[in-house]
């Protein structure tokens, strides 16, 4: 499902003294199977933009196309089928887990969408395996689980409706570094194995660099930069001007390049591979 925004404006409470334009003339394209990351300072419009992707909000003007579905200023009855195909894991999803058992929580979506419940129940073990939870978790209360496990339950609750697009608004907020790494690698595996389009909002620039293939930068409701993360992060000064930084590994590379006058290219290495590249560049520099 390709996602296209064409000249999208969105204003909260139009025609009121509290009116606020949160999106300004946004045009963008996310191809099927992309891993897109949205970054921007707080209040830049990221959540507002995400809410257009499954019809929670509709543009004040302009068009959002998601596959065959067109979201315009007019109301549309097909919104429920869109919501099944575009799953959203909101910020702090554990605040929306409210059923007595994990099983009931995961089955909330299928029930809401009027899906065949026997079929949905049948899928539970597979979905649990995909998100890395044991089956005995099903009869436990969601509130007995760790933060990372609760995020997995929320992701399972979205995956069970079989979406093509998975949207995650700050999925690692409040998790410790280990929990964050686990959730990011779970998202990676969903992207690769299920060939889902991933749309991520995050404040962690390292995660954008390591995982996404497209970065979109919002500032004051405008899309100010877009491209491959490594290209976007080359614009360090522009990013600083809008209150954003670049990942630590790129800062390190930039500093080394400046100090030593040696070219070091980043191409999605693990830290140890990056270390080797730097050592090689230093060695080559020393032999010049």
Ligand X SMILES: Nc1ncnc2c1ncn2[C@@H]1O[C@H](COP(=O)(O)OP(=O)(O)OP(=O)(O)O)[C@@H](O)[C@H]1O
Q: Which residues bind ligand X (CB under 6 A)?
A: 12-13, 20, 22, 40, 42-48
Per the CB < 8 A criterion, the answer to whether 80 and 138 are in contact is no
Of 47 and 251, the one with the shorter C-beta distance to ligand X is: 47
User: Is residue 164 within 8 Å of residue 1, measured between CB atoms?
Assistant: yes
Nearer to ligand X, 214 or 219 (CB): 219
Cross-strand pairs, 63: 6
Whether residue 40 contacts residue 218, with contact meaning beta carbons closer than 8 Å, is answered with yes
Smallest separation (angstroms) from ligand X to the CB of 200 = 13
Name the nearest CA neighbour of 236 among 259, 264, 217, 222: 217
In whole angstroms, give the CA distance from residue 219 to residue 46: 9
187 or 217: whose CB is closer to ligand X? 217
Residue closer to ligand X by CB (options 15, 77) is: 15
To ligand X, the closest distance from the beta carbon of 47 in angstroms equals: 3
- Between CA 86 and CA 170 the distance in angstroms is 17
Nearer to ligand X, 243 or 275 (CB): 243
| Beta carbon nearer to ligand X, 92 or 113 | 92
Closest separation in Å from C-beta 232 to ligand X: 17
Nearer CB in complex with ligand X: 1/217: 217
Instruction: Report, in Å, the least distance between residue 221 CB and ligand X.
Output: 7
Closest contact distance (angstroms) between CB of 48 and ligand X is 3
Whether 40 contacts 46, CB under 8 Å: yes
Question: Least separation, in Å, of the C-beta of 23 and ligand X?
Answer: 8
Sheet with 86-89: strands ordered across: 86-89, 165-169, 197-201, 35-40, 214-219, 222-227
C-beta of 65: minimal distance to ligand X in Å? 21
- C-beta of 22: minimal distance to ligand X in Å? 4
Q: 40 or 110: whose CB is closer to ligand X?
A: 40
């Amino acid at each position: 499902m390709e996602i296209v925004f064409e000249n999208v404006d969105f204003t909260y409470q139009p025609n009121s003294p509290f009116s606020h334009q949160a999106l300004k003339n946004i045009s963008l394209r996310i191809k099927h199977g992309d891993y897109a990351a949205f970054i921007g300072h707080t209040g830049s419009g990221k959540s507002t933009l995400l809410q257009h992707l499954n019809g929670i909000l509709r543009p004040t003007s302009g068009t959002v196309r998601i596959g065959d579905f067109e979201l315009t200023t007019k109301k549309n009855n097909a919104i429920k089928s869109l919501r099944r195909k575009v799953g959203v894991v909101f910020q702090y999803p554990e605040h929306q887990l409210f059923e007595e058992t994990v099983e009931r929580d995961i089955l909330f979506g299928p029930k809401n969408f009027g899906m065949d419940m026997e079929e949905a129940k049948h899928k539970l073990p597979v979905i649990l395996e995909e998100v890395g939870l044991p089956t005995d978790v099903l009869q436990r209360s969601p509130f007995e689980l760790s933060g990372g496990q609760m995020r997995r339950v929320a992701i399972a609750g979205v995956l069970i409706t079989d979406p093509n697009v998975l949207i995650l608004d700050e999925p690692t907020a409040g998790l410790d570094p280990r929990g964050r790494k686990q959730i990011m690698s779970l998202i990676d595996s969903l992207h690769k194995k299920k060939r889902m389009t991933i749309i991520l909002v995050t404040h962690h620039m390292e995660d954008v660099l390591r995982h996404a293939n497209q970065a979109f930068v919002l500032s004051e409701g405008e899309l100010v930069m877009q491209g491959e993360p490594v290209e976007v992060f080359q614009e360090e000064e522009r990013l600083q001007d809008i209150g954003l930084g670049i990942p630590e590994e790129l800062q390190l590379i930039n500093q080394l390049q400046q100090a030593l006058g040696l070219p070091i290219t980043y191409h999605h290495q693990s830290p140890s591979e990056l270390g080797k590249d730097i050592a090689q560049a230093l060695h080559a520099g020393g032999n010049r």
